[in-house]
Amino acid sequence: MAQIRNFSIIAHIDHGKSTLADRLIQHVGLVEMRLFHDQLLDNMDLEQERGITIKSQTVSLPYTNKKGELFELNLIDTPGHVDFSYEVSRALASCEGALLLVDAAQGVEAQTVANLYAALEHDLEIIPVINKIDLLAADIERVKEEIELELGLDSDRALLCSAKEGLGIGEVFEAIIERIPPPQGNPQESLSALIFDAYYDSFRGTIVSCRVFDGSIRAGDIIRFMYHDVTYRVEEVGIFRLKLEQRKELSAGEVGYLIAGIKNISDIRVGDTVTLDEKPLSKPLAGFKEPRPMVFSSMYPIAADEYSTLVDALAKYKLNDAAFIFQKDSSAALGQGFRCGFLGLLHLEIVQERLEREYDQALIMTAPSVQYKFLLKSGEQVTIDNPQYYPDPTTIDRAEEPYVRLTIFMPARYMGVVMKMCTKRRGLNSQFNYTTPERIELSFDIPLAEIVYDFYDKLKTITQGYGSCDFEYLDHRESDLVKVDILVNHEKVDALSFIVHRDNARPRALHICERLKEEIHRQMFKIIVQGAIGGNIIARSTINPYRKDVTAKCYGGDVTRKRKLLEKQKRGKDRMKMVGAVQIPQKAFVSVLKTKTD
């Protein structure tokens, strides 16, 4: 165990985590140069396309130090985006130390601070690393000052490196061995292993990633999953290289995988404890804090007969994404589906794309909403995340919506435009402090519904990419909320309803009406699209009908002849309107989510 080190790389988005992981893998010679490509650990197409890490990935690095001693370094690469912070917390639970990367040009940003606190909660050894020192804009002295002031770490012990150019990689390896403590544990005790990830393989069943704290596990052992109290026989154990590498056993302190022919997906739970059936633990390990979904949206299959395949796909996907939750739901417009919970809008996008690509699902998602609380006059309190279950307005005594503490890091010159944007979105109690003379930290109490939609994109736009933000849930506060229904030819489309603050009801309803006007096909009769609060119409757009020129054959005579033909046409259109149904195309449900700039 003295030769093992378990560590993670944590940082803000785009500070070079995946690039540093690539250099570490290259340095120990795990991959041949002809097979090398950027983002080696990001094995999803989505990660390669977007240039971001979505899933934490593990790799075991064999490293020989200057004294000739061989070490096994288990690296867990983590995402940087705020929506995937639950992946970071799970990775940290398996480690004894972390490399905290800071960009030499950008300095300390929002997720740098958030990830540092997450690492300190797990009592990890932190090694600050200043990356991208090869950039022309690099200001190492300023970044060292920020590490001291904002992170409270000793900047003299910070390592300097350039992951892109491969500078300082040897020093990083030596620091990992010297500063990060080896894992503690007793190989002779009862087996206790923590599941920190899992995924489904159609040939081998569920493959479980775990960290062994005590005891050891080998093929042939009968293991027990403590949460569901089920037993399985282990078929194979091993460690993560760039592929799975089989071993005879996994012992205390090691990070690896186990395969036990697990076909029943519901038996596995991330955060569960694995122990031996013949010599079980008295109580399970602490596990992880349950992630709290912030954004809710309904998911429906495009074809009704694909519902059963969607059920299967969601169960397999849930195994690999512990923060995703779902329950059955139905809609008059879209049929049977699921109400799903996500950590943010990017998380929602990624889930949708992964289900479409990896599980071959064709989906419709409804407009995202957050969780509202309503105190009724009867004294009962109801929590609602789906506009379909909005209570009768006459019975509501008080409505509450979730507020979050939003922290924004940015250059001081953007303070005016960012404050204007936050106050426009009902931000309160603004506080700011200058972390350095040029950089500012701004915090607001702001409704979650206001930042869920397109806040992050707007912030990046107005700060020219220099702004970064992080948020944490505060509480629910009283608010003037209304439910807006969308009507097409006087019929409600339940999948398009939404709950919103009264001040924003008309602009949002107008936006949706205009979008639907563009998407719904013209008919032989007039189609009216309306937004309404109860019986009060607040927005409207009209889709004009196709019209045949019935007066073309009238080339003279009295005007009453023309009028008679037009009246006859009008009566026909009214009759058609009564029996004609309006088909709303599938892409219309998606288009209402997009802003004008999209």
Please provide residue 485's backbone torsions phi and psi, each rounded to the nearest 5 degrees: -100, 145
CA distance 412 to 467: 10
Residue 581 has a pLDDT of: 64
Please provide residue 544's backbone torsions phi and psi, each rounded to the nearest 5 degrees: -70, 150
Q: What is the mean pLDDT of residues 561-586?
A: 70
Token pair 């409600």 is at which residue?
492
Pick from 475, 512, 511, 479: which is nearest to 493 by CA? 512
Q: What is the mean pLDDT of residues 148-165?
A: 89
Q: Is the pLDDT of residue 580 over 90?
A: no
**Coil/strand/helix, residue 465:** coil
More confident residue, 450 or 594: 450
Q: Is the pLDDT of residue 44 over 70?
A: no
Q: What is the mean pLDDT of residues 398-422?
A: 90
Q: Which amino acid makes up residue 270? A: V
Predicted confidence (pLDDT) per residue in 536-550, tens digit = 999 999 988 877 777
Predicted confidence (pLDDT) per residue in 492-513, tens digit = 888 788 899 999 899 989 988 9
Record the pTM: 0.74
What is the helix, strand, coil percentage profile of the chain, to 5? 30, 35, 35
**Coil/strand/helix, residue 202:** coil
Q: Which of 194-203, 246-255, 332-341 has the highest mean pLDDT?
A: 246-255
How many CA atoms lie within 13 Å of 134's alpha carbon, on the beta-carbon side? 9
Write out the two tokens for 200. Answer: 């489904």
- Provide, rounded to the nearest whole percent, the portion of the chain with pLDDT above 70: 92
Residue 399 has a pLDDT of: 92
Q: Is the pLDDT of residue 596 over 70?
A: no
Q: Is the pLDDT of residue 333 over 80?
A: no
* 4-179 maps to CATH 3.40.50.300: yes
Collect all residues with Cβ–Cβ distance below 8 Å to 221 and sequence separation of at least 6. Answer: 191, 233, 234, 276
More confident residue, 439 or 274: 274
CA quadruple 456, 457, 460, 461: dihedral sign? negative
More confident residue, 304 or 579: 304
Strands (E), 422-497: 428-434, 439-447, 468-478, 481-488, 491-492
Tell me the C-alpha to C-alpha distance, in Å, between residue 192 and each of 91, 121, 214, 592: 17, 21, 5, 49
More confident residue, 200 or 551: 200
Please report, in range form, the residues annotated as the binding site for GTP. 14-19, 131-134
Q: What is the mean pLDDT of residues 463-471?
A: 78
Q: Which residues pair with residue 531 across a beta bridge? A: 486, 539
Matching CATH number, 372-478, of 3.30.1600.10, 3.10.20.30, 3.30.70.240, 1.10.3720.10: 3.30.70.240
Packing angle of the helix pair 415-424, 455-462 (nearest 10 deg) = 160
Pick from 539, 527, 428, 433: which is nearest to 485 by CA? 539
CA distance 277 to 292: 32
Residue 587 has a pLDDT of: 65
Please report, in range form, the residues annotated as the binding site. 14-19, 131-134
282-289 — which CB contacts under 8 Å span 24+ positions? 284/226, 284/227, 285/192, 285/194, 285/213, 287/194, 288/86, 288/89, 288/90, 288/93, 288/196, 288/322, 289/89
Collect all residues with Cβ–Cβ distance below 8 Å to 45 and sequence separation of at least 6. Answer: 357
**Would you kindly state where each structural domain of the chain is located, as residue ranges?**
4-179, 192-276, 295-365, 372-478, 483-591
Q: Which burial class, exposed, middle or buried, applies to 466 when counting CB atoms under 10 A from its CB (0-12, 13-18, 19+)?
A: middle
> Alpha helix locations (H) across 321-454?
345-358, 415-424, 448-452
Mean pLDDT of the chain: 84
Q: What is the mean pLDDT of residues 377-391?
A: 88
Written in H, E and C, the secondary structure of 287-322 is: CCCCCCCCEEEEEEECCHHHHHHHHHHHHHHHHHCC
Q: Is the pLDDT of residue 578 over 60?
A: no
Q: What is the mean pLDDT of residues 186-215?
A: 86
* DSSP H or E stretch at residue 565: helix 559-579
CA distance 164 to 379: 61
Predicted confidence (pLDDT) per residue in 203-252, tens digit = 888 888 888 999 999 898 999 888 888 899 999 999 888 788 888 988 88
Residue 576 has a pLDDT of: 57
Provide the pLDDT confidence category of residue 438 given band limits of 50, 70 and 90.
Answer: confident
Collect all residues with Cβ–Cβ distance below 8 Å to 316 and sequence separation of at least 6. Answer: 200, 265, 359
Please provide residue 26's backbone torsions phi and psi, each rounded to the nearest 5 degrees: -65, -40
Top CATH class, 483-591? alpha beta
Q: Which amino acid makes up residue 539? A: A
Predicted confidence (pLDDT) per residue in 70-88, tens digit = 888 888 877 777 677 777 7
> Alpha helix locations (H) across 326-443?
345-358, 415-424
CA distance 494 to 487: 9
**Coil/strand/helix, residue 154:** coil
Residue 446 has a pLDDT of: 92
Top CATH class, 192-276? mainly beta
Pick from 100, 105, 102: which is nearest to 139 by CA? 105
The CATH number assigned to the domain with range 295-365 reads 3.30.70.870
Residue 523 has a pLDDT of: 78
Q: Is the pLDDT of residue 33 over 60?
A: yes
Instruction: Specify the pairing of strand 468-478 against strand 396-411.
Output: antiparallel
CA distance 355 to 362: 8
Residue 598 has a pLDDT of: 45
4-179 and 295-365, same CATH topology: no
Contact predicate 124/167, CB 8 Å? no
Written in H, E and C, the secondary structure of 61-85 is: EEEECCCCCEEEEEEEECCCCHHHH
- Provide, rounded to the nearest whole percent, the portion of the chain with pLDDT above 90: 17
Q: Which amino acid makes up residue 369? A: S
CA distance 265 to 211: 20
